[in-house]
Structure 1
Amino acid sequence: MAIQTYVSPTNSLGNEYFEIFMGYVVDPIRVSVVNVDHKYCSSYSDPHYRTFDRSYYSMMHHDYFVLVRGNTKKGGRLEIQTATSICSDVSCNCAVAILEQNDLVIIDFCQRTTPRITVPRRKLSSGTVIHEQYGYRYYVYTHTGVLLEVTLHSRGDYSYMDISVLLPSDYHNNTMALCGTASDDHSDDFTKRDGTPAQSFEEFVDSWRVQEGENLFIDHASIPEVPDYDKVYCNCPGDVSDDPTIFVTLAWRRGL
């Protein structure tokens, strides 16, 4: 695949130096695209779960839970928590919080007609974006490639959300919690927070209830910060100074 750019002669910015670049055509850049298997987890409806390694189960408890907890060898930190509440005679997700490195975003739809979106800790890092679509779907793209998708629903007196998580390869085999381990082996999905396999489904669920002091919705001010790091998106073999090839890792999902 080749990418070529062209500078339009339309000077919409009013820059006095713009004429220097009028009509300039940048030399083509070759891009080698390497597709990798991305990891996808979802918690939807009342709620049903699909783990990163395609285990399926339902969980009807009302509480705060850890959906994803991950770390990378490069120092990345990821935590996604959900709040579930009574939804008719079952339970539903009504709020979600994502902490990636030091960026925290909370989407709260509990007993609300419109969502409340907050960034309680600090200004988001460059590259972390919150995007609204159609008024009921929200995307949080983190600067390291994690994607959180939230779709809002209202049914009678109840408001709830469907939650999906798309992981970049850095977090593969480096996650735990309700979404599983992202290890390509669904047999270890039901692992407790101490790293041991759960002996029952209830033991697994109870292990991932949010504990005192780690609640992203309530305790965010006391959660310690971690060093920021610059994500390396590709490793170019050898000296590529004379080779305009960029190795890019892309994860694609229908509808984004």
Structure 2
Amino acid sequence: MCFAKETKLLSGTHINLQENSEKVSTTVTTSVPMNCTFDIINPIVPSLSRIDVVIGECSLTINGPDSTSFNTIAVRDFVRDGNTNLTLKIQPRVGSCNLNISDPVTYTIEVSVEDFDGGRCNAASDPHYRSFDGRYYNWYQTGTIIVHQNLYRDFEVHGRAWNCWSVSCLCGVVIREGDDVASIDMCDGQFSYSPPKVKKLSHVTYNEGFKIYRDSSGRRFTVTTPSGSSVTAVVTRYWITAIITVPSDDFGNSNGSCGYFDGNSTNDFLLPSGETYMPTNVFQNYQPSNFTDSWSDSSFDSLFNRDLPSVPTMTPSTYCKCMSVGTDEVCSSATMVNNVYAVFRSGLIDITDNVASGESSRRRRSTGHHIQKRSAFEPTRTNVTNETLAWPSNGITEQNATDNCNSTLINSEIYAACKDLFENTDDLLNECVEDIQLTGSFDSVNDILERFQSQCETAVVNNYNTSSGNFTDDALVVQLESLNCPGQCSGYGNCTNGMCSCNDGFEGDDCSVNSMVSPELFSLNDEKTLRCDVRNDACENISAIGGPFTDNGNLKCQYAEDGDSTSISVSASFENFLEIKCQFGELVSTNYDKQKVNSKASMWLNVRVSTGEGDTRKSTGPGLTFIVYDPSLA
């Protein structure tokens, strides 16, 4: 094969790629003196209507006799779209060669791409696990566990569980890819009154593609990484449901409590030793403590407490699409990812910059870096069981629970859209009934809609039609995009074009809040009585914890000085459904000046919150005490 009559080429004329393998380097060689630039053109694969490989750079310069090389890697698309074959074109750039090439010829390299699946694992509430390969079991322990880790690439997810009633519930997750680390954690506070804290744990700047989002309800948080991996945490007062989505790189390269991930659920209980735990009875199959114990050993290096590097140790590789010649090519680490699950993540709010700056918890007078305070709580591993659970639970019978779970699911819009993709939903219904038994209330019943939505999305992705090059049911994909509402409107509204229309008496972007009920105020900055040092603490922005809150534009904090019956309102910003930030900046600075003039060491305030128009719907109870003081005047 020749570039010109005198020019011989190409060593490595066929490239074999796999969606779960590393980049492949191809060498281009010339045997005669030349100085030419060659463009690489990457075609759209007709069956996919997109490219299926990306390239390290779009042009090559050859100073011969010499050789040069370029890298290719398969696009990670998370879908079963079949193997593909394509042809890369290599052609000399007009006017760039010192040879007389009057009729440039385009040369080709054939590329084959072997398809591999992405995967999704769920760890729900107390925690009910569904592995990447679909195996269902329960983990009844407190402590920290390795949820998932890739054996060869630098990606891992750790989780931890606290005591909830007579069992354990997932209360926090940490996600790490390379140097980038973030946590979504409510394990630090009091059970049922601990808002989710989203924290940056790494000490270096986040890489491109590492993003943190929340939905408009403040109950759902998603972390995405440059590899296309994502972790979504759906938060309630009592627990977190974690949804871990990974690219094909992890197929056959995984371990942890989400299983081995190779398409075979029988070997999911892989131990750190490399052996597979094989349950010998039904109880061990659904509560495999030998398996979960092996991934929650106290000796492993927990991400919740790990010392992390203070300087970057790695940078994601960048790749280019190279689809045409003469255009400005934007190359990044994101080009190798085409995550089809992204169509189900519309309407999210990017909070990466706020989290990365430590805005929600940095001190008023900082020491130069804004990394948020780590959680000091590390639960000791404890085995718990659900043997003490019995019916009726707080007056609710098993039949009441079953009927409520069943009607919530089958009367939902998401069930009507997806029911034909499932033979049965027995596992989901069993989880729902068990959670009602655990809590003694119907508060958790709408969680079944979030879990069903996740399984529906996975089923849709797995029903990709390789012959047509599209989803088996395009109309269903469009419908699911339309039904992608926060919390599926909590069962108290209708979902249209990704937005909830709430029933009378309910409000919020997810319709989860009873508009006739006043919010609760539980603590200020996690304290019943908050003392704030105006010289050293961030007294201007105070967390009011309670709720439930919605981002309705009417959030206020009210305060009255000790002995004064007149309340003053200040604005409040929405953080999540359990937390708002009271903007006390002017109050603190004004009264700080007063204190200096009057030599008064402290100011005592009674604080309440309101969530209705015109400062209506005030928090219940007498309010909480906020003491602003100056230690220099004490």
TM over 0.5: yes
Distance 1:202 1:57 in 2: 10
Question: Given the alignment, which residue of 228, 231, 238 partners 1:148?
Answer: 231
- Name the amino acid aligned to 1:98: I
More strand by share: 1
Provide the residue aligned with 1:174 in structure 2: 253
User: Could you say what secondary structure the match of 1:204 adopts?
Assistant: helix
- The answer as to 2:195 corresponding to 1:114 is yes
- Structure 1 position 71, deviation (Å): 3.4
Q: TM-score, normalised by structure 2?
A: 0.31
Provide the residue aligned with 2:158 in structure 1: 81
Question: Given the alignment, which residue of 203, 207, 212 partners 1:130?
Answer: 212
- Name the amino acid aligned to 1:255: F
Listed one character per residue, the Cα deviations across residues 156-204 of structure 1 (whole Å, up to 9, x for unaligned) are xxx3110001111112111101001111111210000121112552221
Distance 1:81 1:109 in 2: 14
- The answer as to 2:141 corresponding to 1:53 is no
Does the 8 Å contact 2:202/2:309 carry over to 1?
no
* Structure 2 gap ranges (5+): 1-42, 53-78, 81-116, 280-287, 328-334, 346-634
Does the 8 Å contact 2:171/2:239 carry over to 1?
yes
- The answer as to 2:284 corresponding to 1:204 is no
Cα gap change, 1:160 to 1:233, in 2 (>3 Å): farther
User: Could you say what secondary structure the match of 2:340 adopts?
Assistant: coil
- Structure 1 position 119, deviation (Å): 1.0
Distance 1:68 1:129 in 2: 19
Does the 8 Å contact 1:136/1:151 carry over to 2?
yes
Q: Identity of counterpart residues, as a percentage?
A: 24
Q: TM-score, normalised by structure 1?
A: 0.74
- Structure 1 position 55, deviation (Å): 0.5
Distance 1:161 1:115 in 2: 9
User: Could you say what secondary structure the match of 2:172 adopts?
Assistant: strand
User: Could you say what secondary structure the match of 1:62 adopts?
Assistant: strand
- Structure 1 position 212, deviation (Å): 3.1
User: Could you say what secondary structure the match of 2:292 adopts?
Assistant: helix
Distance 1:86 1:223 in 2: 34
Which of 1 and 2 has greater Rg? 2
Listed one character per residue, the Cα deviations across residues 61-87 of structure 1 (whole Å, up to 9, x for unaligned) are 111000001134xxx211101010111
- The answer as to 2:116 corresponding to 1:44 is no
Larger relative contact order (CA 8 Å, sep ≥ 6): 1
Does the 8 Å contact 1:64/1:209 carry over to 2?
yes
Question: What stretches of structure 1 move > 6 A for 4+ residues in a row?
Answer: 222-225
- The answer as to 2:155 corresponding to 1:71 is no
Cα gap change, 1:231 to 1:189, in 2 (>3 Å): farther
Query: How many residue pairs end up in the alignment?
Result: 215
More helix by share: 2
Distance 1:226 1:181 in 2: 28
Does the 8 Å contact 1:49/1:179 carry over to 2?
yes
* Structure 1 gap ranges (5+): 1-28
